[in-house]
Structure formats: C-alpha cells, structure tokens
Chain A
Amino acid sequence: MEHRPLKPAADTREHLVVIGNGMAGCRAVEELLARDPNRYRVTIFGAEPRVNYNRIMLSPVLAGEKCFDDIVINDAAWYADNGIALVAGDPVLAIDRAAKTVMTRSGLSEAYDRLLIATGSDPFIIPVPGKDLPGVIAFRDMDDVDTMLAAADAGGDAVVIGGGLLGLEAAHGLSLRGMKVTVIHLMPTLMERQLDEAAGWLLKNALEARGQTILTGADTAEIVGDGKVEGVKLKDGTLIPASLVVMAVGIRPSVALARDAGLAVGRGIQVDDHMVTSDPAVLAVGECVEHDGQVYGLVAPLWDMCRSLADGLVEKPSGYRGSVTSTKLKVSGIDVFSAGDFSGGDGCEDIVLRDASRGVYKRVIVKDDRIVGAVLYGDTADGSWYFDLLKKQEDVSDLRDLLIFGQAFAAGGGAADPKAAVAALSDDAEICGCNGVTKGQVVSCIAKGAHSLDAVRGTCKASASCGSCTGLVENLLALTLGDEVQSGPKTMCKCTSFGHDDVRREIVAQAMRSIPEVMQQLHWTTPDGCSSCRPALNYYLLCALPGDYVDDQQSRFVNERLHANIQKDGTYSVVPRMWGGLTNPTELRAIADVVEKYNAPMVKVTGGQRLDIFGIKKEDLPAVWADLNAAGMVSGHAYGKALRTVKTCVGSEWCRFGTQDSTGLGVKLERMSWGSWMPHKFKIAVSGCPRNCAEATIKDFGVVCVDSGYELHVGGNGGIHVRATDLLCKVATEQEAMDHCAAFIQLYREEARYLERTAPWIERVGLAHIVARIVDDEPGREALRARFLFSQSFSQDDPWAQRAEGAEAEHHAPMARFTPQEELA
C-alpha cells in the first residue's frame, strides 16, 4: 500500500486518528461521514496490509464459497473519495496522550485531536508446549486463511482446537478443502455457550456425518513436532496426527496499547455510553471495549456502538445501552440459531418442538409471558422473528400455544384455539405424516370405537410412529367425542407422550445410540429430560447396546453413581459381595478392620445374608473399597437396580434334609449374574429342600431343590405387597437351572419397564407369556441366555476396584473446605 501525504496543505479541521482498519473502526468512520462528511480530517492506521474487509466472511472464503474481493467492504477508492489517509501494514505501537500523538512500527508519528481505538481482539492461545511451532495458527485474519489454504493444498490432517463458532467454521472449511479434520473440544457439547445439549448433539451428528471427527470432553496436553507441527497429544494420551493446528478457543480484547497509555482497562477498554474512554480525547469501539461490564464478540453490537459514537462526535449524543446478541453458524447446509438466555431457571418455561424426520429441534424459553431465549436447529427460518420478539420484550401470551410453530402459523391463527384449527382442516388433510393417515381416516376410526389415543394408534396407526402428531390426534378425539375421551396410555413421564414400551421398541427399531438421540427422535418436550426419564433411558440403551453404549453417570441415582447406599444422614452403607452368603476368616477380618479403621458405628447382617457396614463418609468410600478389594471382596451391588444377593441354605452339604447342593448352586448363580443392570433390583435364593429355609418363593428367581431335580420359581416379592412365586417349571440338572435363570433374567431385562419388579411385570404380561418364552421355546431360551451372557461379558467389572484405583476420585472429595475460625482469625 503506497503512503499518501497525511496532511493536505492548509487543512485546519480537527484530526481524527483511528487505530484499527477493521470492522468497527471503518464502520465508525462511515457513520461519521454519513452525519457530517467535512467535520473531521481522518487518518486510519491498520496492522493488516490491506483495505477494510468483512471479517465474518473469512469462513466462506476458507470454504471456497467466496474470494477476498467479494468480502471487501471499502476499497481503495472509498478512502480516496472521502479524503481518508490509510496507513496499512504499519501497526501503531504507542500512544502519547500528553503530546497527543501516536507512533507506528516504521517510526511514523502522527498528531491527533481525537483518537479512536478499534483494535478488535487477539485470539487466545492456550499455553501448552508446542504452541509456537510452525503450523499452529489462529483464525482471525486473511493471513490465517492464506496459511490454512496453503496447508490444505498440501493435504493431510488438521486439528482444530475449540468447538465453538469459529472452530467449527474453520473445521468445515478445511474439510471442504480436502483435509481430514479432527475437532477437539473441552466441553461435553459443541458450542455450549450458544446451544443446549440437544442442539449440540444434533450438530455433532451432522458434522460427523460429513466426515469430521469430533472429540468432546477432550483436553489438549501438548502440540508435538520437530521443527513443525506433527500432531496433538491429549491429556488421556491419545495422539492425533496433524500438519496444521488451528486454535479457536476464544478471543481476548486487544487492550495492550490502551493499557500502556494508562487508559482505564478492565476486561476491555472501559468506555461510557458515548464510547469515550477515561481520557475525553480518546474513544474506543468494537471488540476491544468493555461497556457496562460487557465485552462482545459479534458484529451486531459494533453497529450499535458505532452509531452512538458518531452521534457523540458530531455533538448530538444518543448513548449506547448495550446489545442483546444472537448467533448463527455459517456452515452451509447446517442451520443453527441461538439468542438470549437458554439456561432456564425459575419461572422459565420451555416450549420444545422436535421433528425427527426433518432433523429439527426448536426451543423457545418464555418467562413472564416474554421470550428470553431461543435455540433452533435444522429450521432457523423463525430465528429473526423470535429474536425480534425477544429484543422488543413483547408480550407473547396470546401467541403462546402456536409460538413454536413459527411466525406464519402463529400470525395466521392469531390467538386461535388449536382445536378450532384442527376442526378447520379438510378431511383429506394429512394428520400423520409417518403413516400417511388423513383427518377423515382418523375421524372414522374414532367413530368406529377407537376412543383413546392408544386405540387410534392401534387401529389406523396415526401417531403410532414418531408421535409428533399426538397433539392433533388428541384434538380430533376431543372434537369427535366431546368429553368421552379416555386418557391415553400412561406416558413415561411428563417429558414425552410415549409410554415405556413405545420408547423401548423405537430405541431398538431405530437403532438409537444416546439419550439426546432418543429425546430428539421421540420429540421430548423438555431439553434434557427429568429424574424419571433419564435413568430409564440410560438403562434401556445400556440393555440394547451391551458393550457399546457409554453409561451416562449423571443419569443415574446417587447409589449407582457411588456404588453404595445413601442413608438418611447422608453417609453411606457398604455391602461387600459374599458369594451365596459364604464367607471366610480373611473376609471377616477385613470387614472388622474396616469397621474399626473408619469408625463405622454399626454392622448388620442383612436379610440377604450379607454384612452391611453403616455410616461410611462419602470421601472415605474409595479407601474402604480398596481395603475390601485387598481381601478379595467386590461390590455387592446392594445399591443398584441390579442383582442384589443370592441367598442360600446349607443344603445337602450339611443339612439332614438337603436334597441338592443348594449353597454351591447359589454361588454359581451369583457368579453368573452379578454386575448385570436390570429394570429394578433382583433377588435370587436357593433352598435345599421344600422346607425352603432360604425363602426362595418370595424372590424374583427362586430355586427349590427336590430329590429329582430343581423347581424353578419366578416373580416373588417380599416388601409391601408380598407375592409368592409362580412355578415356572422343573428341571433335572444344575446346568438347566442356570440356563433358565439366565434366560429369565434377560427376558426381564428386555421386556420389563424401568422400575418394574418381576412381580408386577409377570402380573402384567401373564405367566403364560413367560412360560412360552422360557420353557416351551428352547431355541428362544438359548438365544436369551446367549444375549445375557454376552452382555455380562461387559458388566462384570468391579466398580469398586476402578474407583479404589482413583477413577472418578473427584466425586468423593469436596471441592474446597472452609473454616470460619481461620477466616476470622
């Protein structure tokens, strides 16, 4: 860029010097020129060796959708026409406020009457070893894009650190340019500051489908390479090869110049409502400023700032009041929008619409009849409408019911009653898109006697697949029958219109793999479920995908998370496994030692023939387990929806009545089935003769030994509603008893609803069904048994041993301790 003479002869106007030839600096000048083109003589200093361009369009340039010329905002002619002197490629290094001059790197010194700082932001570089290697870059300006394009030409692997807006746009561009891209993101969901978990999950899926590797919850340890980047190493030891590393973990306002000049600086350069800094001659605008405690990283606020700034410069002050922002991801084919606050909280109501077939997730957050936030995925057409309502703080109570369907719908129907809207539909209007059922068909099926949602689903199939038309069908029922509608099937919880069985069937049929996926595909009406559905979904997925599904710890009750039973005072009880109720001196000594060492106030023999150590503090649990492990004992799962105990009697080994080795069989059954997660707790017992000292006939699975073999009993229960078992069948050998037991457990695991014990399950499905599946159908039984044993091959991992070794140690220790006495001293 050639240097123009900075001061035309005899120009006596006040001199405005702008530091930063970026989006805010130039916009401020444009706003000023629009108000009074002759008021100031203007000089702009820019560190970048080029004219002013649209920084946000660097992403499309990287993706090959645009070239640099397309994104120039003000070309050389603009500067010339408006008499602006541009000094490009020569950054300002110092401001002398006393002398009112600025000094550049090349040694140029320029006097100002008013100074405008618009230096933008600096990319944040995480301080890991290797951060300075050639090939590690940020994504901020055209030079970075040029570096990326050169790397892409050479091909190979790229790693993008940071799964926010910037990182994902970089990853998208590089991947379109043919690089194999891995995104490393510290948080569990992508763009967590703009998106909720549900939308973040959809986004991750879409990007993975395009061939990117997305690693969430991944922490960078170092960047490795000899003279240039060769890869990125994560804290867990994984090494990802890369010839290019893009750091997009965040930005920091660029305040060094201002701070050195002694201006007031917080997170950014502090300005008042007229963008004036602590020195009245110096103004600041853009990402480098802090206004009212806020700093911004998007362009919309800059436009507002620039207006107020220009108003102030021509002495017609208006005053900037802060901005509400919205975000859109610029990745072609993936529509994401977010605005406002979506963290929920009191008085906030979520309105959620999910349409699995179109891959749509929409969530609008309403508080006191006003929209406070919106997250849209897949269909962002109404983003600007919601954002507008949000900014204007408009009362949406009249639109409430139709709000989520978007502007066209809500505006058209106004405050219309949804029932009236359904009534107005023609007979051939399609109600259920999945099964192609029209309104006329649904109405005639209701007229023929289908008087409940379930009945409609069963007869004409409307709302039987994805369920998104459930509301429409319910309205049709109400319209056709008036008050006669029978309430629908019991839903899993208030987050969904589906019952447990529907959810399970769909999980298997659609091969779903994660909780957010189920919530999306089945149109959950809450963003992240509740304490009823989360544990159930976690179990259903675990059962459907043994060895594959990664258990979601935050969807488990505390006992299953900590592998101990919470007691009413917040301490825990610990029950080590004693196979079949047998123990030995080593184990007893270890238990006695634990009781003394950790001051356990009580030890009790349980109803299931185990020893229960009470009053253990949460932070002592790992040490207790380590001590018990050392004596060969593992977790007794006395806390879980899992196999609890196998109770046995002494049997033929010792007892004069004993017919078979009940103790030995009990031990074998326990070794086979421990560690397996189930819909609810599961108890087994084996008695050596019909005197039944082990109380096998009130267990979920009970064996009563007789001379000729083994009677197998199922579905017993102690507890509030005592239920004696039903006799399933009689078998001749121990092996058969074991096989039937495995098959029965698996059938229960696959068919019972979460939190349904075997007793109510059998009463619901009928003993005949169990007999047909387990006794009459030998290949079926064999398949069930095989599935159980397969699943067991992944679950018999002592949770105590893992934790005693330090896994999840942080769950046990407090994060900090506070001692008031020391504080006050």
Chain B
Amino acid sequence: MTATAEWLDIGWVDQIPVRGSRTVQVEGGDDIALFRTAEGKVFALLDRCPHKHGRLSQGIVHGGAVACPLHNWRISLSTGEALGDDKGCTPTVPVKIDGGRVLICRASTLKAAA
C-alpha cells in the first residue's frame, strides 16, 4: 500500500462495487469498511455495528446508509450514527478520492488499530 504522511492509498474506486463494500484489514484492530453508494460516493467506517458488532461491510447499502446484516439497524455512512429509533455510533474514517484512487486518513486508521 502506498502512502503519504496523512493519507493511506487503498486502491481504485472501481474496486468497490456500486451499492457494495470492501474492507481494509487493520492488523491488531477492527477492519475498516469502505462503501460506495448508488451515486458513487465513497465512505469509510469501522466495520463494526454499534449494536452487537455486526460487520457493516456485509450489509445492504441504500441511499446514504447501510443496513447491518445481523439485526438490520440502519447506520448512516457519513456520520456513523444509527438512524431511526436506534441509538449508537460507529467511528467514521475520513476518505478522499484523488484521480480515481481511494485514500483514507492515516491517523483514524491507526486509532482503529489501537
């Protein structure tokens, strides 16, 4: 993985299926889930549902949210907050797209590993 001081280069945007997700394995910590919405926006969250730690990367992506595969909580992709009546929050990781490459914030990723 190539990297700069602040950003980690993860790969091409196209590698993430539309309305789907891929993960980044973080040694010694939770994976980070990368999502790509129907409109092509990319988001990164810890791959861990605030409810009972379901793998959000395995959920159904719709609009700007993902439905957790375990008990169907809906989690906002941009804030990580549970939507509707459920309460809880998954940490988000800043992402940026540069020339078709997906970059995620190094500091937040290190925090995930901690």
Point out residues on A near B: beta carbons under 8 Å: 186-189, 192-193, 196-197, 342-346, 348, 350, 526-531, 534-535, 553-559, 561-562, 566, 568-570, 810-811, 814-821, 823
Kindly state the separation between the CA atoms of A570 and B23 in the bound complex, as whole angstroms.
13
Q: Which residues of B contact A816 (CB under 8 A)?
A: 1, 8, 10-11, 24-25
- Residue of chain B at shortest CB distance from A567: B70
- Residue of B20, B26, B69 near A554 (CB, 8 A) is B20
Q: Using Cβ atoms and an 8 Å threshold, which residues of chain B touch A189?
A: 38
A123–B114 CA distance with the chains assembled, in angstroms: 46
Residue contact A527 to B22, C-beta cutoff 8 Å: no
Closest residue of B by beta carbon distance from A196:
B39
Q: Chain B 1-37, CB within 8 Å of chain A: the 1/0 string?
A: 1010000101100111111101111111101101001
CA A196 – CA B41 in complex, angstroms? 11
6 contacts between A and B (CB under 8 A): A531-B62, A554-B18, A566-B54, A814-B22, A817-B1, A820-B110
Known contacts A346-B76, A820-B110; is-contact A815 B23 (Cβ 8 Å): yes
Given contact pairs A570-B47, A814-B24, A818-B26, a sample of 12 additional A-B residue pairs in the complex whose CB atoms are under 8 Å apart: A196-B39, A197-B38, A342-B39, A345-B76, A348-B64, A528-B62, A554-B60, A556-B60, A814-B25, A816-B25, A818-B8, A819-B27
| Inter-chain contact total with CB atoms closer than 8 Å | 139
Q: Is B61 an interface residue (CB 8 A)?
A: yes
Contact residues in B for A531 (Cβ distance below 8 Å): 59-60, 62, 67, 72, 74
With both beta carbons as reference points, the residue of chain B lying nearest to A188 in the complex is identified as: B18
| Residue in chain B with minimal CB distance to A808 | B17
| C-alpha gap A570/B37 in the complex (Å) | 22
Q: Which B residue's beta carbon lies closest to that of A516?
A: B38
Q: By the criterion CB–CB under 8 Å, are B19 and A343 in contact?
A: no
A586 CB to closest chain B CB (Å) equals: 32
A344 touches B37 (CB 8 A): yes
Residues of A within 8 A of B29 (CB): 820
Residue in B20, B54, B58, B77 with the greatest tally of chain A CB atoms within 10 Å? B58
Chain A residues whose CB sits within 8 angstroms of the CB of B106 once the complex forms:
823
Query: CB within 8 A of B27: which of A197, A810, A821?
Result: A821
Contacts of B53 in A (CB 8 A): 568-570
Q: How far is the CB of A607 from chain B (nearest CB, A)?
A: 21
- Complex alpha-carbon distance, A106 and B18, angstroms: 50
Provided the pairs A344-B63, A814-B25, A819-B27 are in contact, do residues A527 and B70 lie with their beta carbons within 8 angstroms?
no
B66 → A minimal CB distance (Å):
8
Q: Does B90 contact A (CB under 8 A)?
A: no
Report the Cα distance A66→B47, complex, angstroms: 55
Return A346 CB to nearest CB of chain B, in Å.
Answer: 5
* Complex alpha-carbon distance, A802 and B25, angstroms: 25
Q: Once the chains bind, are B64 and A346 in contact (CB under 8 Å)?
A: yes
Q: A554-B17, A820-B110 are in contact. Are A534 and B27 (CB under 8 A)?
A: no
B80 nearest CB neighbor, chain A only: A346
Smallest beta-carbon distance A374→chain B, Å: 13
Complex contact B22–A815 (CB within 8 A): yes
User: How many B residues touch the partner, as a band?
Assistant: 35 or more
Docked Cα-Cα span, A607 to B86, in Å, equals: 33
A343-B40 in contact given A531-B60, A554-B18, A566-B58 (Cβ < 8 Å): yes
CB distance from B57 to the nearest CB of A (A): 9
Q: Kindly list chain B residues whose C-beta atoms are within 8 Å of the C-beta of A553.
A: 17, 20
Shortest CB–CB separation between residue A524 and chain B, in angstroms? 11
| Contact A555:B60 (CB < 8 A) given known A192-B39, A344-B39, A527-B38 | yes
Most chain A C-beta atoms within 10 Å of own C-beta, residue among B25, B79, B81, B106: B25
B70 pairs with A566, CB closer than 8 A: yes
Contact residues in B for A815 (Cβ distance below 8 Å): 10-11, 15-16, 22-24, 34
**Contact between chains at B69 and A566 (CB < 8 Å):** yes
Report how far A46 CA is from B27 CA in the complex, Å: 57
Find out whether the CB atom of B76 lies under 8 angstroms from the CB atom of A558.
no
Query: How many Å from the CB of A24 to the closest CB on chain B?
Result: 24
Give the complex CA separation of A187 and B55 in angstroms: 27
Residues on B with beta carbons closer than 8 Å to the beta carbon of A345: 41, 64, 76-78
Nearest chain-B residue to A219 (Cβ)? B14
Chain B residues, CB < 8 A from A814: 22-25, 31
Instruction: List the B side residues contacting A534 at CB < 8 Å.
Output: 60, 62
Does B113 touch A at the CB level, under 8 Å? yes
Q: How far is the CA of A559 from the CA of B58 in the complex (A)?
A: 9
B contact residues around A811 at 8 Å (CB): 17, 20
Q: Top 9 A-B pairs ranked by shortest CB distance?
A: A531-B67, A554-B19, A558-B58, A815-B22, A344-B64, A531-B60, A570-B55, A343-B39, A819-B27
Which residues on B sit within 8 Å (CB–CB) of A821? 27
Across-interface contacts of B77 in A (CB, < 8 A): 345
B113 neighbours in A (Cβ, 8 Å): 818, 820
In whole Å, how far is A286's beta carbon from the nearest beta carbon of chain B?
22
Nearest chain A CB to B79 CB, angstrom units: 5
B40 partner residues in chain A, CB cutoff 8 A: 187, 192-193, 343
A570 / chain B contacts, CB cutoff of 8 Å: 47, 53-55, 58
Contacts of B10 in A (CB 8 A): 815-816
Q: Which of B40-60 contact A (CB under 8 A)?
A: 40-41, 47, 52-55, 58-60
Task: Tell me if B60 and A196 are in contact (CB < 8 A).
Answer: no
Given the known interface contacts A558-B69, A815-B22, A821-B27, the answer about A528 and B1 at a Cβ–Cβ threshold of 8 Å is: no
Nearest-neighbour CB distance to chain A for B71, whole angstroms, equals 10
Residues of A within 8 A of B60 (CB): 531, 534-535, 554-557
